[in-house]
Amino acid sequence: MSTAPHATAPAPAHDDADDSATHKPASTMNALRTKNVAVIGGSYVGHRLAMSLAKALPATHRVVLIESNSHFHHLFTLPRFSVLHRGGEEKAFVPYDHIFSDPSIPPGAGTVVHARALSILPSSGGGEVGGTIRLDRPLPNAARPAGREDDGEGETNLVAYDYLALATGTQLQRPWSLSTAASSSSTDAIEGEGNRTGEVQDTTKAQAIQILQSYQDKVRDARRIVIVGGGAVGVQVALDIAHLYPLRESGKEVVVVHSRDRVMNKYHQDLHNLVMARFGEAGIETILSSRVHLPSPPAAFSGGGRTHMLPLSSGSSVSGDLILLCTGQTPRSALLRHLSPSSLTAAGFIKVDRTLQVQSAELEPGQAQRLFALGDVAETGAWKTVRAAMGQIDTVSHNILALISRSSAAAAAATAEGDDAAAAKELKTFTPGPAGIHLTLGLRESVKFGNPANPDDKPRCLVEEDGSRDMNASRMWANFNVPKDTAWHL
């Protein structure tokens, strides 16, 4: 486990002639930026959208990224760091402090607010302005409106927004998601760890590391591990365990139970075939087309030498001394539950138009057009992967900028505009493409797999050697502009 600081990198060069805005003091730039574009959720999709907007917003606007966690959770790495014993799990949690320090982002164009959004209050002004977000804690001075930094008047836990994008994602079972404490149906409740009331709590970096290390210890000590779910997380965890603790030599057993007739069932048959071949080589047992009946109320599955017997829908049962649940995505869409119930599907995902604006029967059209949703929480027709969401980021960024431009043009109606300006205000639409995934196949190998656009075509399948046990987690620190002399534990 490495806690050594990065090597110091040279400061990036600035072209002073081409970036006159950077000569203005940050306080001056903040005073100019009186309108907020709020992004709720700072994971893979949310932070990329915030950075994209910050680079392109006019001087009247700034991005306010609202994220409850103190650190970005590099979710792709959590299955690996839940298994790899003391393998550098500190790298999975990246500080947000420098996200807007990129030289291409003007000073004052973006700020991060670490708070939980409790509710959205749309404006009563007929859609001329967006609305207000109520937070669970007071705003820091840097995030308050210009002129209100220290006056102490009014509520300080409100963020007014001109436009709002919801990138709140989905909640997986612990430890694959660590953003909140247990609800009554989560893995933690089953394991007897954490609260059983459903109360939402934040997780600090130190707590998150401790949780991962506790799972590392459980995996090390378990003799028979049952993994419920044959999707991406289940496949990755099973092969990581089998490669770290070779099953035939260590005496461990790993069983994957999946309700469908093939693993990775959302993808082409070829991916199932590849995974099953790797399972066979590693000695991993599979039980397909059978659903696990979990007890209600849930029992404790925390290991410690106790054997748990789980009944299966086939009529048989499976036993293990450690049960890892790798099933289900719960959308984090509660902000719309009371504001606009018609915006949610039966499963809780947010309905959006092809422009990724939220569909709503309750909100006025002018209010709804200022509200966007993207990523896993949105029902876009795309697969729930970051790769599938990249086009959504471009669509939402373009459309918010286009709407701001339209508003500016309306405010300056006397200004003549050419065809190019009119074209720039056209909203983009998002069209989902074939599903694709980058899946690890143990500690040394991964596959980049893409479904074919046409059923009769062959899928894209590229198997590669992966020489980094920590999945090159340090690259994400560079993406967040974290200085290279920053210690991993910070």
Per-residue pLDDT tens digits of the chain, which is 490 residues long = 444 444 333 333 333 333 333 333 344 444 567 899 999 999 999 999 999 999 999 999 999 999 999 999 999 999 999 999 999 999 999 999 999 999 999 999 999 999 999 999 988 765 567 899 999 999 876 666 554 444 445 568 999 999 999 999 999 988 998 864 333 333 332 333 333 323 345 678 999 999 999 999 999 999 999 999 999 999 999 999 999 999 999 999 999 999 999 999 999 999 999 999 999 999 999 999 999 998 765 544 656 678 889 999 999 999 999 999 999 889 999 999 999 999 999 999 999 999 999 999 999 988 999 999 999 999 999 988 888 899 999 999 999 999 999 987 665 653 444 444 444 579 999 999 999 999 999 999 999 999 999 989 999 999 999 878 999 999 999 999 999 999 999 8
- Closest to 219 measured CA to CA, from 86, 347, 124: 86
- Closest to 437 measured CA to CA, from 44, 76, 150: 76
Question: What Å distances lie between residue 99 and 54, 64, 102, 111, 112, CA to CA?
Answer: 10, 12, 7, 9, 8
- Closest to 291 measured CA to CA, from 323, 325, 328, 260: 260
Name the residue ranges covered by the structural domains of the chain.
Answer: 27-68+114-170+330-424, 173-328+435-479
Q: What pLDDT does residue 328 have?
A: 81
Per the CB < 8 A criterion, the answer to whether 403 and 60 are in contact is: no
pTM of the model: 0.86
Per the CB < 8 A criterion, the answer to whether 6 and 31 are in contact is: no
Question: What Å distances lie between residue 388 and 233, 353, 357, 381, 430, CA to CA?
Answer: 17, 17, 17, 10, 11
Q: What pLDDT does residue 290 have?
A: 96
Fold of 27-68+114-170+330-424: FAD/NAD(P)-binding domain (3.50.50)
Cα 269 from Cα 274, distance rounded (Å): 9
Question: Under CATH, which number does the domain 173-328+435-479 receive?
Answer: 3.50.50.60
Task: Evaluate whether 27-68+114-170+330-424 and 173-328+435-479 have a shared fold.
Answer: yes
- Closest to 131 measured CA to CA, from 336, 272, 291: 336
**Which residue bears the tokens 């590391």?**
209
Cα 404 from Cα 456, distance rounded (Å): 44
Neighbouring CB atoms inside 10 A of 98's CB total 15
Cα 248 from Cα 241, distance rounded (Å): 12
Quote the tokens at residue 204: 């600090």
Per the CB < 8 A criterion, the answer to whether 358 and 350 are in contact is: yes
Q: What pLDDT does residue 17 have?
A: 33
- Closest to 68 measured CA to CA, from 90, 98, 108, 96: 96
The Cα diameter of the chain in Å comes to: 79
- Closest to 383 measured CA to CA, from 434, 458, 328: 434
Q: What pLDDT does residue 296 have?
A: 63
Q: What pLDDT does residue 38 have?
A: 97
Cα 327 from Cα 370, distance rounded (Å): 34
Alpha-carbon dihedral sign for residues 479, 483, 485, 486: negative
**Which residue bears the tokens 């967040």?**
480
